[in-house]
Chain A
C-alpha cells in the first residue's frame, strides 16, 4: 500500500470538479464527504499523500484536509438566498447546530447558512449561484450517515432536502414510485403499505433518512438479500449538476437500453457529482405473511451451515439473514434493558421470511427449524408471526448501534468479506487490541457478506485508533474485501479507497469527474 503513496506529487490547484485523481499529476484521491466543492467552472484537484497528508497523520487519518480557497458567504449572497427562499434561509447558529454535527457526534463543521429548497428549480438556482461565485455546498438529507459525509467540513453552505418531501406519482400496477429526494424512508414505507406495497430497502435509520441520501450513498440495509441493491431498484433520477443544469433522467421504465446508464454514476457517488432531487424506484408488493425466527448458534461455522440450510429450505421466501454476537446481546441487555428471548449463545441469527401465503411459509419455516434443531446446528430459538413480537425480535438486531453509543466512543467499520472470513476479523481484532479496547463486537448482514465491526473505548483514544487503522484495512485488503460495504467513504474513509480499489480504477473515477465538468468550463 505504501508504494502507491510514494508516487504522489505536490498539491497543485487545477480545474477539477471535486477531489479527483488525475494520472498525469499522480495525485491521490481525497473525498471530502459529500461536499460539492465547486469552483466557477474550475475544478480543483486534490493531492493527498496518505502518510504525509495535509491535515492528516497516521494517528488521525480521518482528519479533514485544509480548507480550499473557496469564497465565503457575503451579505449579498445571503440577500439572494433570502429572496429565493423566503423564510427558508437559516442563519441562526442554534438552528444550524444540529445540521453541522453528524449523528455519531464525531464530526462537526461550521457552516453559517442552511438552505431549504422546495423544488428542483430552486436547487438549480442555488447551485448556479454558488457555482458562479465559487461557493462550496454540502448537500444534506437526514444526516444519519456514519462516515462524516453528511455535514460540512468547514463553512460550506448546507443544502437540505428536508422540505422536498412530496410523493410525485405512484403506479399500483407496476409498483413504480416517483418522489422528491427529501422524503423520509419511513414515511414512504407507510405510504406504500397503505397501498399494499413496500420500499425495497429498510434500515435502522428509516425514521430520519431521506431517500435522496439513501440513493447517493447506495444504502444497503436489511432487505438487500431479497430485493437487491438500489442499483437495481432505482429506475430513474433527477439530478442537479454543480453548475445548476438539471439532468432529467426520471424514467419510470423497467427497461431502457438507450445509451449509457448515467444514473448508475450518481447512485453511490455521495453527492460528489450532483444533487439528487427526485427518485423513481421500483417497489415490491407487501408480503402477506412475515415470520421472524431468532436462533442461537454455538459457533460461527454452525451459523454458516444454518445459512446453507436456510438458503436451501427457505430459498424464495427468505428476506433477511442477520447475525449478532454475544457481546452485542450483553450491551443490549445492559444499556437498553432488552431481554434475550432464548438461552445465551455465542451467536444469534435473525431470519425473516416474507411470502404470499402464510400457511405455506409457516410450513417451510417449521420444517427448516425442525431440521436445524434436530441436527443441533441451532441450540435454541424462537419464532414470531405476529407484528408486535416481530418488531421486538428485530429490535434486538436494529438497536445494537444505539446500545453501542452508550459505551463511550465507537470506532465503526463496515466491511465486506468472503462470508467464511467474517468472524475471523472480529476475533483477530480482539487479540490484536487486547486491553486497549473496551468492547470489540461484530454483527451485520452476514447473508450479504457484510460485517459491522465496532470497537469502543470510554473516550476517543488516538493510540487505539492507530492500533486499529490501518491494520483492519490491511486485513480486509488481504482477503480482497471492501473497506466500506455500504456506509460509503465520506470524510472518514476517503483515504482508504486504495485498500479496495486498484489505482487505475480510482484514476478513472477522477478522470470522469474531471471531464464531466469540462464540457462547460470556459
Chain B
C-alpha cells in the first residue's frame, strides 16, 4: 500500500511575527529578501526601535506579514498537493486576530483550510518556539497529520528551534534546512543545506521538514484565488483546548540596539589619507 495515498494532511505552520530585522541590514538576517527581491536596495524596510523600557522592540503599528521561510513552506505544500501526492493542506498560525490575514494569504496561495490558534496580549509577547511546538504537536495529533512543513527560522527572533522541537515532542524524524524534498513511496528524501555543502537523507513519514531559501520561489496570490480564499474556512482554537500551557520559561532581561556604526572620514587627496593613517598609527 502506497503511503502517499494515505498522506492526508500537510500542516504548514506560519510564523507571523513582524518582519523586523533588529536594526541590522536585511541581507544578513533575511537572505530570502536578498534572493527573491532582485535589485532591491538592501536595507531595513521597517525602522526598528527599541522600547524605552528596553524590554523589547516596538511592534505597535508595525506591519506584520508571513515569515518568508514559511511562505516557501506553504508553496512546497501546495506543490505537493498539485502533484497529487497529498490530499489536503492546512495552514496554521498562532497569534492575535491579525494573523488571520496571513492565513488568508496562505489560503489564497492554495491551502485548503486554516486554523487560527488564538494567543494574544501578554501571552503573545512571550510566545516562543517551545510553546509553539507544543501547540503544533498537539494539533498534529488531533488532525492526524502526516507531514509538517515550516520555515527553518523566523526572521524576527532567528531561533531556528520550532521545527526541531516539534519533531522531538512527537518523536518524528526531521529534515531541516531543506533545499529539495521528494516523496518516494512512504519516505521523504530531503536534501539539506549544511555548512559543508549538501546532505541527502531519507526520512520515514510522518515527519517534520523545515524549508530553506532555495527550496522554491513562492507564487504570488492572484486575484481569482484571493476571492476563492474568502470562502475557505479558518477554524478558531485556543491553546487551552489543546492542553497546552503557553507560559514562558524565559525572562527577557534587556534589549539594546546594536552599537552605532562610526562614520567614515573622507579625505581629499592621497597625502591627506597617508596623514590620517599615520595619525591613527596604522602606518
**Which A residues are closer than 8 A to B by beta carbons?**
86-88, 186, 193-194, 207, 288, 294-295, 336-339, 341-343, 358, 369-370, 373, 378, 380-383, 385-389, 391-392, 395, 399
Give CA–CA (A275, B226) in the complex, Å: 52
Q: When the two chains form their complex, are residues B222 and A399 in contact, meaning their CB atoms are under 8 A apart?
A: no
Beyond A194-B47, A387-B45, A392-B40, whether A288 also contacts B61 by CB under 8 A is: yes
- The answer to whether B221 has its CB under 8 Å from any CB of chain A is yes
Q: Are A395 and B65 in contact (CB under 8 A)?
A: no
Q: Closest Cβ of chain A: how far from B16's Cβ, in Å?
A: 11
Bound CA span A342–B227, Å = 15
What separation, in Å, do the CA atoms of A511 and B132 have in the docked complex? 76
Q: Given A370-B227, A385-B63, A387-B63, A337–B38 Cβ distance below 8 Å?
A: yes
B52 at the interface (CB under 8 A from A): no
Query: Per DSSP, are chain B's interface residues mostly helix, strand or loop, or mixed?
Result: loop
Whole-angstrom CA separation of A339 from B222 in the bound complex:
14
Asked if B38 and A336 make an inter-chain contact with CB atoms under 8 angstroms apart, the answer reads: yes
- Chain A residues with CB under 8 Å of B19's CB are 386-388
Select from chain B the residue with minimum beta-carbon distance to A337: B38
**In the complex, chain B residues whose CB is within 8 Å of the CB of A342:** 220, 222
Task: Determine which of A288, A358, A380, A389 lies in contact with B222 in the assembled complex, contact meaning CB atoms within 8 Å.
Answer: A380
CA A382 to CA B225, docked complex, whole Å = 9
B217 cross-chain contacts in A, Cβ below 8 A: 339
Q: By the criterion CB–CB under 8 Å, are B46 and A387 in contact? A: yes
Measured between beta carbons, the chain B residues less than 8 angstroms from A343 are 222
B52 CB to closest chain A CB (Å) equals: 18
Given contacts A370-B227, A383-B223, A388-B40, 8 further A-B contacts (CB under 8 A): A87-B268, A186-B41, A338-B38, A339-B217, A386-B19, A387-B63, A388-B37, A392-B37
Q: Which residues of B contact A399 (CB under 8 A)?
A: 39
Q: Is the CB of B36 within 8 A of A383?
A: no
- Chain A to chain B: the 4 pairs with minimum beta-carbon distance, closest first: A387-B45, A87-B268, A341-B220, A386-B65
Please, how many angstroms separate the alpha-carbon atoms of A207 and B41 in the complex? 9
B260 at the interface (CB under 8 A from A): no
Is B224 an interface residue when CB atoms closer than 8 A count as contact? yes
Please list 5 pairs of residues, one from A and one from B, whose beta carbons are closer than 8 Å in the complex, sorted by A's number. Answer: A336-B38, A358-B63, A382-B221, A395-B38, A395-B40
Once bound together, how far apart are the Cα atoms of A391 and B37, in whole Å? 7
The distance in angstroms between the C-alpha atoms of A288 and B227, with both chains bound, is 25
Known: A337-B38, A387-B19. A378 touches B65 (CB 8 A): no
Residues in A neighbouring B268, C-beta threshold 8 A: 86-88
Residues of B within 8 A of A378 (CB): 223
Question: Which chain B residues lie closer than 8 Å to A338 at the CB level?
Answer: 38
**A373 close to B223 (CB less than 8 A):** yes
Residues on B with beta carbons closer than 8 Å to the beta carbon of A395: 37-40
Pairwise interchain contact A380-B223, C-beta atoms closer than 8 A: yes
Q: Decide yes or no whether B269 CB sits under 8 A from chain A.
A: yes
A341 to B226, CA, bound (A): 14
Q: How far is the CA of A186 from the CA of B41 in the complex (A)?
A: 11
Does B33 interact with chain A (Cβ within 8 Å)?
yes
Cβ of B36 and Cβ of A392 under 8 Å apart?
Answer: yes
The interface residues of chain A lying within 8 Å CB-to-CB of B269 are: 87
Give B218-252 as 1s and 0s: 1 = Cβ < 8 Å from A's Cβ atoms.
Answer: 00111110110000000000000000000000000
In the assembled complex, which residues on chain A have CB atoms less than 8 Å from the CB atom of B220?
294, 341-342, 382, 389
Give the distance to chain A from B18, nearest Cβ to Cβ, in Å: 10
For the complex, give the distance between the alpha carbons of A172 and B40 in Å: 28
Supposing A342-B220, A385-B63, A385-B65 touch, asked if A373 and B227 sit within 8 A by C-beta, the answer is yes
Residues of A within 8 A of B46 (CB): 387
A391 in contact with B61 given A194-B47, A383-B223 (CB within 8 Å):
no
B274 CB to closest chain A CB (Å) equals: 15
Which of chain B's residues have a CB closer than 8 A to the CB of A186? 41
Q: Which residue of B lies closest to A387 (CB)?
A: B45
Closest to A378 in B: B223
Q: Closest CB of chain B to A437's CB: distance in Å?
A: 27
Q: How far is the CB of A39 from chain B (nearest CB, A)?
A: 33
A397 to chain B, nearest CB (A): 13
Question: Chain B's nearest CB lies how many Å from the CB of A55?
Answer: 39
Interchain nearest-CB distance for B175 vs A (Å) = 27
Task: State in angstroms the CA–CA spacing of A392 and B65 once bound together.
Answer: 15
A465 to chain B, nearest CB (A): 31
Task: Report the bound CA distance from A175 to B19 in whole Å.
Answer: 28
A88–B19 alpha-carbon span in the complex (Å): 43
Measured CB to CB, the nearest residue on chain B to A340 is B220
Please, how many angstroms separate the alpha-carbon atoms of A369 and B108 in the complex? 15
B275 to chain A, nearest CB (A): 14
**Chain A residues with CB below 8 A from B38, complex form:** 336-338, 395
Docked pose: A135 CA to B20 CA in angstroms: 55
Tell me the minimal C-beta distance from A236 to chain B in angstroms: 30
Q: Is A383 a contact partner of B226 (Cβ separation < 8 A)? A: yes
A388: chain B residues at CB < 8 Å are 19, 33, 36-37, 40, 45, 68
User: How far, in whole Å, are A399 and B38 apart by their CA atoms in the complex?
Assistant: 11
The chain A residue sitting closest to B66, CB to CB, is A386
Given contacts A87-B269, A194-B47, contact A381 B223 (CB under 8 A): yes
How far is B37's CA from A388's CA once the two chains are assembled, in angstroms?
Answer: 7
A123 to B137, CA, bound (A): 71
- Contact present for A386 and B224 (CB under 8 Å): no
Nearest-neighbour CB distance to chain A for B155, whole angstroms, equals: 11
CA distance A381 to B223 in the complex (A): 5
- Closest-by-CB residue of B relative to A190 is B43
Q: Which residue of A lies closest to B221 (CB)?
A: A382
Contact check, B226 vs A391: say whether CB atoms are below 8 A apart: no
**A205 CB → nearest B CB, Å:** 14
The chain A residue with its CB closest to the CB of B272 is A87
- Chain A residues near B45 (CB-CB < 8 A): 387-388
Q: For residue B41, which residues in chain A have a CB less than 8 angstroms away from its CB?
A: 186, 207
- Is the beta-carbon distance between A369 and B223 smaller than 8 angstroms? yes
Residue pair B222, A373 in contact (C-beta under 8 Å): no
- Min CB distance A191 to B, Å, is 12
Chain A residues lying within 8 Å of B68, measured Cβ to Cβ, are 388
Taken together as a complex, chains A and B put the C-alpha atoms of A242 and B61 apart, in Å, by: 50
CB of A347 to closest CB in B, whole Å: 15
Question: Which of B221, B223, B226, B268 neighbours the largest number of chain A CB atoms within 10 Å of its CB?
Answer: B223
**CB of B49, distance to nearest CB on chain A (Å):** 11
Contact between chains at B36 and A381 (CB < 8 Å): no
Q: Chain A's nearest CB lies how many Å from the CB of B109?
A: 11
Q: Which residues of chain B have C-beta atoms less than 8 A from A382's C-beta? A: 220-223
